[in-house]
Amino acid sequence: MLVVFERLALVAGQAIMRIFHEGCAVDAKADASPVTIADREAEVIILAGLRDAYPAIPCVAEEEVSAGILPEALGNAFFLIDPLDGTKEFVKRGNDFTVNIALVRHGAPEVGVVFAPCSGHLYLGRPGRAEVAEVDAGFAVGLRREITVRRAGSPLAVVASRSHRTAETDAYIATLGETEIVSVGSSLKFCLLAQASADVYPRFGRTMEWDTAAGDAVLRAAGGTTQTLDGTPLAYGKRSQPHDADFANPFFIARGR
């Protein structure tokens, strides 16, 4: 399965970079968030590949959900897809946007791929092993190496969002003592923890499951954790929530060791 995820992420990333260099119009979804043809084209590529390879596994994808397309039932396993996480970065000509594909099983992210096409970093996670691979300008995968989280030191390296920093996040960071702030966009925040480049990622702001599943899978495979504020693992497949939309996440804290 990870081989399929990797192939689809690379093809989607190639399409995204073509549009990135050509330029494109920016539309607004119902929630006022931006969307481009890159989001839509990448999602079509990923969904076609997943549905061909695994027709029995339901898919939950950001742009389909935005259009009101949802599987009736998820069962014990389903895919979560964010074809272009960090659309704001993409529109601003930044380089932190990613392609995200994850398998969720029994409410936990089990397999995940995060591809950052600008930097050529491909992160992969499956139970017991996480790795990062280098992808060249021709989208060929080169050197791979295993990654694991690190034991936190001092100062604590805290990953904070560039676009979604909140007062609650700042208040939490203030309780941690001596810290060093690392700012990065999209699901790469999880990947920094997974590759031992940071220690904690507090998220006191809105996210959806497709924003987090793939990065969370990589982090858990590398030995890290993602927990809600009450200390329970962040769960996936949340529907009919009394106070929020389907697939919306509560606040959480992701950590290395």
Binding residues for substrate: 62, 84-87, 211
In terms of C-beta density within 10 A (0-12 exposed, 13-18 middle, 19 or more buried), how is residue 59 classed?
Answer: buried
**E-state strands within the chain:** 26-28, 34-36, 59-61, 77-85, 98-105, 108-116, 121-126, 129-135, 141-147, 156-161, 179-184, 200-203, 225-228, 252-255
Cβ partners under 8 Å of residue 116, min gap 6: 95, 96, 97, 98, 122, 123, 186, 188
In terms of C-beta density within 10 A (0-12 exposed, 13-18 middle, 19 or more buried), how is residue 176 classed?
Answer: middle
What span, in angstroms and rounded, lies between the C-alpha atoms of 150 and 35? Answer: 36
Give binding residues as ranges: 62, 82, 84-87, 211
Give binding residues for Mg(2+) as ranges: 62, 82, 84-85, 211
